[in-house]
Structure formats: C-alpha cells, structure tokens
C-alpha cells in the first residue's frame, strides 16, 4: 500500500489497492508495482498514458466492474509504483512491468486495454503472452513521431526543455499547475473533462522524490514505442483499435496501423481527443461490456 505521506487523493469506488513485490533475482532493477482491483468476472487490465496513473481510469472502472475483474496498473516508476534509481523506462522495461502483473497474478483469458503509451504496451505484451491474452483494445496508440508535442505550443516547449541536455532535469522538476492543466487539456476535445482534483493528484505524484527523473526518462524513451510497432503482427488475439477524432495522431498514422493490422476492428470516436478514458468512458465501457 502507498505510504501515509503519498496516499492517493482520489478513491475509485469499489477498488482496493495492492502491490506486487520485485521478482527474486531482479538485482534491485525492479520496484514494487501498485495496482487497483475491482469487480468480478474475467480479468481486464488497464494501462495508462504518459505522465498519468491508475486513477486515469476513475470514470471507466465503475462502468465495467460488473462484467470484469479490473486491474488498473501503475506502470513502473509512475503513480505509486516504486521508483528505483537507475531503472530503465523504455518500451521493453515498461512491458516487463505489465507482464509481471499478468504472470505474478497468474491471469488468463485477459482483456488488455491501454491508452496512448499503455496501448502500445497492451499490444506488445499480447505478442509476448499469447497464452494469457484474450483480446486487446488499443486506444489512441502512441507510436508516431511528435506525440504530445502535437498537443500545443506549450507542450512542445515543455517537452523540448525536459529533453534538453543540462537544463532538462531542472525543467522536469518544475511543473506549475497551470502548465500541466493546459498540456493535458490539449489532449481533450471536451476541455471540461479534466477535473481539478485529478490535476492535483498528478501534481502530488509528480512531487515524489525521484519522479522528475522518471518523467524525463519516459520522454527520452518515447522513440522506443515507435520502434515496437513491427511487433504488432505477431499478436494472435483479436485487436480493436480506437482513436479519438481529435487525437494527436494524424489520419496517416491511423491508416498505417490499419494496414499493419488488417484484421483489427477500428472505431473513431467523434469529437474526442487523446484521453478518451477521461472524456468518453461511456463509449469504452459500452465497447468492453458488449464483448465481456
């Protein structure tokens, strides 16, 4: 469980918080992983976006917990998962965290649902663990150049600053609330879907010791998400690609994945942006509940 000093400020009704210990023999390279659990039924794993956490799915979990046992993971180093000095945050390392959840809890017949970075990890984890994964729902897959920098001029400036040599670590540790709010709103068609208490929760996590280093490492590793695309055709489970009409991806990016995965189902959500779990959880719930 999170310590008293770092307890989440948001509670999703019906959820309980749990942790997974590092594997024996990991040599200090792995940390504890925190996840939220709710509901009954076949397992469904939720994987969040860059710079967010399990609470990203606060509105979705209650809508699907009657049909699934839901596991919402804090990816390595993010949310309230343990920050390990010197850990890697590229796609293979993040994917290893997802696979730890599935393997350590011995989950089978799993529906993997990821948004943004989480969508890439859902796809690559499914390629690695075909015997465990039943279905993949990939929402606004973050596997194209530019990414969050397409959100706004402010996002381009901030991300460029975080990545810059020398001053990057300093900029990563400074996160004014108005700037974070503006950047996140750039991923929404409906700006009102970003709640103030959620921004406050993200800022609390961002103040954890070592988190700026994690955030910078994640941004530095974003090209590894693009590099993972060639693994998509290895997936044996059915795939559903979901995109917001106003997502940061361009039509050419979406078409490229449709061609790479010709058997996949495809849904485009009118007027929605990058964070569909925040602004259209009802649409995702309807899609998931229909195939439970």
- What is the per-residue DSSP string for 41-88? SEEEEEE--TT--GGGGTTTHHHHTTTEEEEEE--TTSTTSPP-TT--
Cβ-in-10-Å burial (0-12, 13-18, 19+) of 83 comes to middle
Beta-carbon contacts of residue 161 (< 8 Å; ≥ 6 apart): 167, 168, 171
Under-70 pLDDT residues of the chain: 1-5, 166-168, 170-171, 174
Beta carbons of 36 and 61 less than 8 angstroms apart? yes
The pLDDT score that the predictor gives to residue 25 is 76
**pTM for the model:** 0.94
Q: How many separate domains does the chain show?
A: 1
Q: 230 is in which domain, residue-wise?
A: 15-146+222-290
Tell me if 213 is assigned to some domain. Answer: no
Torsion angles phi and psi, residue 43, rounded to 5? -70, 140
The pLDDT score that the predictor gives to residue 170 is 60
The pLDDT score that the predictor gives to residue 117 is 97
What single-letter DSSP state applies at residue 231?
G
The pLDDT score that the predictor gives to residue 166 is 67
Tell me if 32 is assigned to some domain. Answer: yes
pLDDT tens across 144-177, in order? 998 887 887 777 777 777 777 766 676 677 678 8
Tell me if 189 is assigned to some domain. Answer: no
The pLDDT score that the predictor gives to residue 150 is 80
Cβ-in-10-Å burial (0-12, 13-18, 19+) of 115 comes to buried
The pLDDT score that the predictor gives to residue 1 is 42
Tell me if 285 is assigned to some domain. Answer: yes
How would you classify the pairing of strands 68-73 and 110-115?
Answer: unpaired
The SS3 assignment for 39 reads strand
Tell me if 183 is assigned to some domain. Answer: no
The rounded distance, in Å, linking the Cα atoms of 290 and 292 is: 6
The rounded distance, in Å, linking the Cα atoms of 145 and 153 is: 16
109: domain CATH number is 3.40.50.1820
The strand pairing partners of 241, in sequence order, are 138, 266
The rounded distance, in Å, linking the Cα atoms of 142 and 120 is: 7
Tell me if 245 is assigned to some domain. Answer: yes
The pLDDT score that the predictor gives to residue 173 is 74
Beta carbons of 278 and 46 less than 8 angstroms apart? no
The rounded distance, in Å, linking the Cα atoms of 117 and 222 is: 8
Torsion angles phi and psi, residue 139, rounded to 5? -105, 120
CB count within 10 Å of CB 263 equals 8
The pLDDT score that the predictor gives to residue 107 is 98
Tell me if 109 is assigned to some domain. Answer: yes
CB count within 10 Å of CB 19 equals 15
Tell me if 46 is assigned to some domain. Answer: yes
């Amino acid at each position: 469980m999170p310590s008293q000093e770092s307890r989440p400020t948001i509670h999703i009704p019906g959820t309980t918080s749990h942790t997974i210990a590092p594997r024996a023999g990991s040599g200090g390279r792995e940390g504890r992983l925190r996840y939220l659990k709710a509901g009954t039924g076949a397992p469904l794993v939720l994987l969040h976006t860059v710079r967010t956490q399990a609470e990203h799915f606060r509105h979705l979990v209650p809508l699907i917990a009657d049909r699934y046992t839901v596991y919402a993971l804090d990816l390595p180093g993010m949310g309230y998962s343990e920050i390990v000095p010197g850990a890697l945050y590229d796609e293979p390392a993040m994917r290893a965290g997802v696979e730890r959840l599935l393997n350590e809890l011995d989950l089978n017949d799993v529906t993997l649902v990821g948004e943004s970075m989480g969508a890439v990890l859902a796809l690559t984890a499914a390629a690695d663990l075909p015997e465990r994964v039943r279905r993949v729902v990939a929402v606004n897959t973050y596997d194209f150049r530019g990414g969050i920098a397409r959100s706004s001029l402010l996002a381009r400036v901030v991300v460029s600053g975080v990545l810059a040599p020398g001053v990057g670590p300093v900029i990563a540790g400074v996160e004014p609330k108005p700037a974070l709010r503006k950047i996140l709103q750039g991923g929404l068609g409906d700006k009102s879907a970003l709640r103030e208490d959620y921004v406050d929760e993200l800022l609390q996590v961002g103040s954890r010791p070592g988190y700026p280093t994690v955030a910078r490492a994640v941004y530095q590793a974003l090209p590894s998400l693009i590099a993972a695309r060639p693994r998509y055709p290895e997936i044996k489970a059915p795939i559903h690609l979901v995109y917001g009409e106003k997502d940061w991806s361009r039509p050419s990016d979406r078409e490229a994945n449709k061609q790479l995965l010709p058997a996949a189902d495809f849904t485009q959500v009118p007027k929605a942006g990058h964070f569909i779990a925040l602004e259209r959880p009802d649409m995702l719930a309807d899609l998931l509940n229909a195939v439970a």
